[in-house]
Chains A and B, each alone.
Chain A
Amino acid sequence: MSDTAIDPRYGTKPPKRPLRLSWGDERVRGIVYQILVVGIVGSIAYWLFSNTMHNLEVRRIATGWGFLEREAGLPIAEFLIPYDPTDTYLRALQVGVLNTLKVAVIGIVLATILGTILGVLKLSKNWLVSRVVGAYIEIVRDLPLLLQLLFWYALLQGLPGPRQAIHPATGVFLSNRGLKLPFFEWEGPHNWALLLMLIGAVGTYFYRRAARAKQMADGQPRAIWPAATVMMLVVPLGAWYAMGAPFTPDIPALRGFNFQGGLTVSPEFFALLLGLTLYTAGFIAEIVRAGILSVSQGQWEAAEALGLPRGRVMNLVVLPQALRVIIPPMTSQFLNITKNSSLAVAIGYQDIVSIANTTLNQTGQAIEGIAIIMVVYLTISLSISLFMNWYNSKIALVER
């Protein structure tokens, strides 16, 4: 936005006219009106705030953030960071934020992949494929998401109990308690290996940029995968091996009421993820389809006339142009997944809304609780928006 003030026809800022202190001056009027509007909005906000605080005070309803330090005493089923009911409300809320992020991030990735595939399939020349995909898109887009979530949750509850669990391979159990997968004991060296892998991924990115720059200079394409393999796989594995190669398998087994050990995908999380992914993929498919259709047939033909193979035509010619159309509505869909994840409370997945709701109910501090929920969603949504806007401006065609 910063360069909109520059008129592209001049390439420089227009000279500023000196300000005349007179009602006849358009700019003076503008400034006065703006001060007025900001003042009115500001005083309304101040009045709302002070009125609320006054009424809370009069009714002796507790306010403030002191409750965050108090012991929560809430049982939480799923957590990414260690949590115990003796921890504080603050910790419980952090667990909730991470649970929201977990389902939102995985949901965005899966919905994007599935939606893109469906969008391409809907353009298929095969009558059956395009109609089946079309029917799917219509169905998921037309039914309320809450209904779909309850449907998936009910379906997952219909699975057999833990003692009659479906058991297709060693350590894999599917029951109404969720999906159990074998894993291994997570130890210190694994953290280091993961960190090295992330550093390797960043390194690969810069390596690729450098390789691209060289290709621009001399026209020689360079393979990236050898360096990528070394940085993201060989080095982390080597470090893990050097630190004693710890590996203790953790295989789930039925003990008492439930399975112990291994990785768990709970029915609540899975139903939410499934519902969000399938629902949003329907919208993304339409966006992708529209994006591809927005690139004129002439572009395909021109690119093919240059002798480019079909894959490269897609990657180098069609997709860069389609993405310009796809990215902005895609941002809305990513925001929708994040916000819709708040329906989790209906099916018992403890996201930030669920935990903040419980917190405000236990402490009675509704305003603070709602404020926390709003700040969390605002932060996540703005982050997604900022990232997508950055990406959008990066891929935008440079026009003059």
Chain B
Amino acid sequence: MPTETIILWILYAIMFLMSPIGAIIVQIKKDKEEKQKKEEKK
């Protein structure tokens, strides 16, 4: 496959994968915060 096409595929995938990656990062952050709060309460 031409190199330009491979770059296009990568860009296309990144465009759509922004939201799954974003959601996972935010969720990990929230889980950490919650865990920290629970520990503080203990």
* A interacts with B: no
Q: Which residues does A use to contact B, with CB under 8 Å?
A: none
